[in-house]
């Protein structure tokens, strides 16, 4: 799991190109504060209209999570998903500027994280592409001095990726990108021994990482094997943490009970832990369906 170059570079005007990211950064960092607060819903709605494949993907996700609803409710939920996404992007891109400010974060289940930290083996955090995942690291770093390394799949445009990664690092969140090097997990094991948290999003299986089949939202899915193997090799507990956006610079995070993977797991134990991770995500996303940013391959990673 190491940095690797994206397979393809998007064109100049592609939705995930450096051009659009730079323009978004310009507005978020140098525009008036009201622009960062009030423009994202409109921008998100425009993205939903301009990207029909992503819009259909979001609609399908919502139906899978909460079942079919009326047409008006369906349109509202899709619009809310894109608006929340745009709001998160704007707030991240304002980091390091006159518009920057650490968001408010309400946390439930904090004792689960505190107990995991006290074990002294580091923590494997599993999360998902939901609103606000990027602020958990800076908040825990501020209040507990905990280093958090987010393991992510690289975006297609390396320049756009670097721009956003640098802004994330400016808040205290470290970022590492997934590759195909079989020895790339060794630095993460060292960081766990030093007491850091390694965070991995489980709603997608990045290239170069094996997946484990699970049941999620009434159907088949896969979660990455990486966090389970890191926990097995290090003895670190796995703590699921998922976030939702409540409003402008206001977020909610729920910490679930830690789970443990034995160093020598018996038959089915790794698979059972994988299903527990999936159940935690299903529980949270089922209660906050418009906060899951699963746009398929048609929107930039978050």
pLDDT truncated to tens, each residue of the chain (302 aa)? 444 444 455 443 345 556 677 888 888 889 999 999 999 999 999 989 988 999 999 999 999 999 999 999 999 999 999 999 999 988 888 888 898 887 888 999 999 999 999 999 999 999 999 998 777 777 777 667 788 888 877 666 677 667 777 777 777 778 887 765 544 677 889 999 999 999 999 998 877 678 999 999 989 999 999 999 999 999 999 999 999 999 999 999 999 999 999 999 998 999 999 999 999 999 999 999 999 998 864 434 44
Closest by Cα among 287, 239, 210 to 118: 239
For the residues of 186-219, what is the DSSP string, one character each?
A: HHHHHHHHTT-EEEEE-SS--TTS-EEEEEETTE
Please name the residues in contact with 50: beta carbons below 8 A apart, sequence gap of 6 or more: 15
Domain stops at, among 32, 59, 93: 93
| DSSP symbols for 250-261 | EEEEEEPPPB--
Q: CA-CA distance, 42 to 236, in Å (whole number)?
A: 43
Tell me whether residue 9 is in a domain: no
**Cα–Cα distance, 195 to 149 (Å, whole number):** 11
Is 167 found in the same domain as 232?
Answer: yes
Residue 242 phi, psi (nearest 5): -130, 150
Domain end call among 93, 115, 140: 93
Contact 235, 82 (CB under 8 A): no
Q: What is the pTM of this model?
A: 0.86
Alpha helical stretches, state H, 131-209: 133-144, 158-170, 186-193
CA nearest neighbour of 189 among 231, 127, 240, 138: 231
Identify any residues that bridge with 174 across adjacent strands, giving them in sequence order.
149
Q: Is residue 222 part of a domain?
A: yes
Predicted pLDDT of residue 92: 84
Domain count, the chain: 2
How far is residue 231 from each of residues 1, 112, 251, measured CA to CA in Å?
15, 16, 28
Mark whether 136 and 203 lie in a shared domain. Answer: yes
Q: For the chain, percent helix, then strand, then coil, each to nearest 5?
A: 45, 20, 35
Residue 69 sits in the same domain as residue 187: no
Residues 89 and 114 placed together within one structural domain of the fold: no
Structure tokens given for 41: 């819903």
> Residue 128 phi/psi, 5° resolution?
-150, 175
Q: Does residue 184 contact residue 1 with C-beta atoms inside 8 Å?
A: yes
Looking at residue 253, its pLDDT comes to 93
Cα diameter, the chain: 58
User: By residue range, what is the domain housing residue 192?
Assistant: 104-289
Nearest to 94 by CA among 43, 167, 156, 45: 167
Query: Which pLDDT belongs to residue 16?
Result: 56
- In a shared domain, residues 269 and 240: yes
Report the distance separating Cα 112 and Cα 63, nearest Å: 31
Report residue 299 CA to chain centroid gap: 14
Same domain? For 109 and 196 the reply is yes
């Amino acid at each position: 799991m190491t940095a690797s170059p994206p397979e393809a570079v998007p064109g100049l005007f592609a939705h995930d190109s450096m051009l659009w990211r730079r323009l978004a950064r310009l507005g978020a960092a140098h525009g008036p504060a009201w622009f960062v607060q009030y423009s994202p819903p409109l921008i998100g709605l425009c993205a939903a209209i301009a990207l029909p494949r992503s819009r259909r993907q979001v609609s399908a996700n919502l139906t899978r999570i909460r079942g079919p609803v009326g047409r008006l409710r369906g349109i509202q939920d899709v619009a809310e998903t894109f608006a929340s996404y745009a709001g998160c992007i704007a707030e991240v891109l304002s980091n390091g500027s006159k518009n920057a400010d650490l968001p408010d974060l309400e946390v439930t289940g904090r004792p689960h994280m505190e107990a995991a930290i006290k074990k002294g083996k580091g923590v494997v955090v599993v999360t998902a592409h939901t609103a606000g995942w990027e602020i958990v690291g800076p908040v825990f770093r501020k209040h507990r001095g905990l280093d958090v390394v987010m393991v992510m799949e690289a975006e297609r445009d390396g320049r756009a990726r670097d721009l956003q990664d640098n802004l994330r690092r400016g808040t205290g969140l470290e970022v590492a990108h997934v590759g195909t090097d079989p020895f790339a997990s060794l630095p993460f094991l060292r960081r766990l021994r030093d007491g850091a948290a390694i965070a991995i999003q489980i709603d997608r299986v990045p290239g170069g990482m094996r997946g484990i089949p699970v049941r999620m939202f009434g159907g088949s899915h896969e979660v990455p094997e990486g966090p389970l193997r890191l926990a097995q090799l290090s003895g670190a507990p796995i703590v699921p943490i998922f976030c939702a956006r409540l409003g402008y610079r206001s977020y909610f995070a729920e910490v679930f009970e830690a789970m443990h993977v034995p160093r020598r797991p018996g038959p089915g134990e790794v698979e059972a832990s994988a299903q527990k991770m999936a159940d935690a995500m299903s529980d949270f996303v089922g209660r906050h369906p418009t906060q899951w940013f699963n746009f398929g391959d048609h929107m930039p990673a978050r």
